């Protein structure tokens, strides 16, 4: 869809808001915006049809005015496309990755505003409402707290759908060098960790590290008195000794991620493990008393509604504390997209609806949610939890309510300035070699970032 707008700064948002409509041909959409005092007018032309929307606004300063101009222009575009294409989106004109954070930002009337001004469907507003309730204890205790993230961007092999930074561990020549640099960085941030609420060792697949290197990382983190997650991830990397090591160093929560329980799909997506491996490693992990999360993906190539239903039902039958349901998000030109048939987006929406219904009726409540670019059906990822078992780290990160001290390649640290409603970020290089070379400078910069950013 080609969009021409007289508000150049709107282009990216326009494209984001419009690209999920199921349309077969490219549309040329013209947009013009004008203001007469407090009256905003947006005129949108699609083919021979012209749509005109007006809105009276009141605002306290230019920043607020710009926000309204943007919001109503996007809404106008969305409404005109709905009419022209005779189609609606469940998230309406809402773009951005954090719908729940957006609701918090609006405040008390979030439900009415998101319904009236963004045309978000009631079913999604119900989920946001449940999430806000479930998050309450974590949300209210967040003030002045921080979380630690440790990045292990290595995996035994690359899954074909994966959108995360991951390097094949067997081909990595500088693994020891990376771990030494990482350990140095972890040690250096310890004085910054005041009111530590959670630790998350993620990736990648941290447990794909040889045990001696994994132990170096766990030792550097040391004893913590809070939630401590290691993204064990792939069952083909989990052995009894791995779990013993995690337990020894005080890890409290691990992820064992099926993605799907169908062997045919596991082959298609390049997971290199079977459904039976998931059952076996889950049983083994339970012996150690970890809180366990399982990730699933809706819309995987080659899967029908019944395949996905089977995965949701099977995950529930295993009774983990958390289940996270992702919607497949494939970038243009991704290997998986090119090689196998994808489902119609309406089918994926049916899958997500089923997961919401089934999980809620099986004692799992949604507790965090985010959206990504290129998501099938413009849907969402949602984490579900058993009562009182919500992962603090996920809530803190998603709602951006605490500082995040991130160590390792591609780690993005965040510092909050609550009063000014502002967040500063510091990103480490993605490339392993660059990270190792620059670690001393990263340590110096990050200390400055946390101690002196104003
Ligand atoms: C950081 S990844 C690491 C997980 C771990 N290495 C594993 O594979 O089990 C976290 C989760 O993101 C999800 N994910 C990764 N790529 C995705 C994609 N393209 N679309 C949807 N979900 C994706 C998967 O469910 C995955 O378990
Ligand atoms: S193992 Fe996990 S992080 Fe690694 S490629 Fe697969 S999905 Fe991505």
Question: Is 338's pLDDT higher than 60?
Answer: no
Q: Is residue 106 part of a domain?
A: no
Distance in Å, CA 107 to ligand 1 centroid:
32
pLDDT tens, position by position, 180-189: 999 999 999 9
Domain identity same for 146 and 277: yes
Ligand number nearest CA of 348 is 1
| Number of structural domains found in the chain | 2
Q: Which ligand is nearest to the CA of 269?
A: 2
Per-residue confidence (pLDDT) for residue 50, from 0 to 100: 96
Give pLDDT, residue 340: 55
Q: Categorize the per-residue pLDDT at 346 as very low, low, confident or very high, splitting at 50, 70 and 90.
A: confident
Regarding whether 268 and 182 lie in a shared domain, the answer is yes
Of 367, 389, 407, the residue that ends a domain is: 407
Q: Is the CB of 231 under 6 A from ligand 1?
A: yes
**What pLDDT is stored for residue 341 in this prediction?**
60
Pocket-testing residue among 160, 164, 270, ligand 2, by greatest number of atoms within 8 A of Cβ: 164
Domain annotation covers residue 441: no
Q: Which atom of ligand 2 is nearest to the CA of 155?
A: 4
Give per-residue pLDDT as tens, 393-429: 999 999 999 999 999 999 999 999 988 889 999 999 9
Binding site membership of 301 for ligand 1 (Cβ less than 6 Å):
no
Residue 438 lies in a domain: no
Measured distance CA(60)–CA(404) in Å, rounded: 32
90 in Cβ contact with 122 (< 8 Å): no
**Is residue 358, in this structure, part of any structural domain at all?**
yes
| 23-32, 133-142, 210-219, 273-282: the lowest-pLDDT one | 23-32
| Residue 152 pLDDT grade (very low, low, confident, very high; cuts 50, 70, 90) | very high
Tens-digit pLDDT profile for residues 353-383? 999 999 999 999 999 999 987 777 778 999 9
Residue 169's pLDDT is what? 96
- pLDDT score of 372: 83
The residue among 402, 363, 409, 400 whose CA lies nearest residue 385 is 363
What count of Cα atoms within 13 Å lies in the side-chain half-sphere of residue 36?
Answer: 5
192 and 257 co-located in one domain: yes
What CATH code is carried by the domain that includes residue 204?
Answer: 3.80.30.20
When pLDDT is cut at 50, 70 and 90, the band that residue 164 belongs to is confident
| Ligand 2 atom 6 nearest Cα | 159
Co-location of 157 and 59 in the same domain: no
At residue 29 the predicted structure's pLDDT band, cuts being 50, 70 and 90, is confident
Within a domain: 168: yes
CA separation, residue 251 to residues 35, 79, 219, 221, 242 (Å)? 57, 49, 12, 11, 11
204 close to ligand 2 (CB < 6 Angstrom) = yes
* The predicted structure's pLDDT at residue 24: 59
Residue 286 half-sphere exposure toward CB, CA atoms < 13 A: 11
Question: Would the pLDDT of 7 be above 80?
Answer: no
* Beta-strand relationship, 154-155 and 167-168: parallel
* CB atoms near residue 4 (< 10 Å): 12
Kindly state if the Cβ of 373 falls inside 6 Å of ligand 1: no
Partners of 293 in beta bridges: 255, 322
Task: Using a pLDDT cut of 90, give the percent of the chain over it.
Answer: 75
* Residue 154 sits in the same domain as residue 249: yes
- Ligand closest to the CA atom of residue 327: 1
Segments forming the whole domain that contains residue 359 = 135-407
Residue 94: pLDDT band (50, 70, 90) is confident
In this prediction, residues 6-20 reach a mean pLDDT of 66
Both 56 and 154 in one domain: the answer is: no
Q: Is the pLDDT of residue 228 over 80?
A: yes
Average per-residue pLDDT for the chain = 92
pLDDT average, residue stretch 276-296: 98
Residue 19 pLDDT > 90, yes or no? Answer: no
Pair (55, 149) in one structural domain? no
- Whether 270 and 372 map to the same domain: the answer is yes
| CB distance 197 to 140 below 8 Å | no
Single out the residue in 371, 388, 407 at which a domain terminates. 407
Q: Determine, yes or no, domain membership for 118.
A: no
- The verdict on the CB of residue 163 being under 6 Å from ligand 1 is yes
């Amino acid at each position: 869809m080609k969009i021409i707008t007289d508000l150049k700064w709107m282009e990216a948002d326009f494209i984001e808001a419009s690209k999920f409509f199921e349309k077969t041909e490219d549309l040329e959409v013209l947009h013009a915006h004008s203001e007469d005092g407090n009256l905003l007018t947006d005129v949108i032309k699609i083919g021979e049809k012209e749509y005109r929307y007006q809105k009276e606004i009141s605002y306290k300063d230019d920043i607020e005015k710009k926000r309204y101009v943007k919001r109503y222009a996007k809404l106008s575009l969305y409404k005109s496309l709905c009419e022209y294409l005779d189609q609606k989106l469940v998230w309406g004109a809402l773009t951005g990755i954090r719908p729940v954070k957006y609701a918090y930002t609006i405040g008390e009337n979030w439900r009415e505003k998101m319904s009236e001004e963004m045309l978000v469907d009631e079913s999604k507003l119900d989920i946001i409402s449940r999430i806000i309730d479930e998050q309450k204890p974590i949300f209210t205790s967040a003030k002045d707290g921080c979380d630690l993230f440790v990045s292990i961007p290595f995996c035994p092999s690359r899954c074909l759908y994966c959108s995360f930074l991951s390097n094949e561990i067997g081909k990595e020549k500088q693994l020891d060098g990376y771990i030494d640099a990482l350990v140095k960085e972890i040690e250096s941030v310890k004085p910054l960790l005041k009111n530590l609420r959670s630790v998350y060792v993620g990736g990648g697949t941290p447990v794909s590290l040889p045990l001696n290197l994994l132990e170096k990382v766990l030792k550097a983190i040391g004893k913590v008195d809070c939630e401590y997650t290691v993204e064990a991830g792939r069952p083909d990397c989990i052995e009894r000794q791995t779990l013993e090591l995690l337990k020894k160093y005080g890890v409290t929560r691990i992820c064992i991620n099926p993605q799907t329980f169908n062997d045919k799909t596991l082959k298609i997506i390049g997971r290199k493990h079977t459904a039976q491996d998931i059952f076996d490693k889950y049983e083994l992990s339970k012996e150690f008393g970890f809180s366990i999360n399982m990730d699933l993906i809706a819309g995987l190539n080659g899967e029908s509604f019944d395949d996905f239903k089977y995965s949701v039902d099977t995950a529930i039958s295993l009774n983990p504390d958390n289940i996270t349901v992702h919607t497949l998000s494939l970038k243009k030109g991704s290997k998986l997209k090119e090689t196998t048939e994808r489902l119609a987006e309406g089918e994926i929406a049916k899958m997500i609806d089923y997961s919401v219904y089934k999980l809620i009726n099986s004692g799992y409540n949604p507790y965090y949610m985010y959206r990504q670019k290129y998501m099938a059906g413009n849907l969402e990822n949602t984490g579900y939890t058993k009562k009182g078992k919500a992962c603090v780290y996920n809530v803190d990160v998603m709602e951006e309510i605490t500082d995040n001290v991130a160590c390792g390649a591609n780690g993005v640290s965040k510092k909050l300035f609550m009063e000014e409603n502002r967040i500063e970020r510091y990103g480490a290089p993605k490339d392993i070699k660059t990270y190792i070379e620059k670690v001393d400078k990263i340590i110096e910069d990050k200390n400055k970032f946390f101690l002196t950013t104003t």
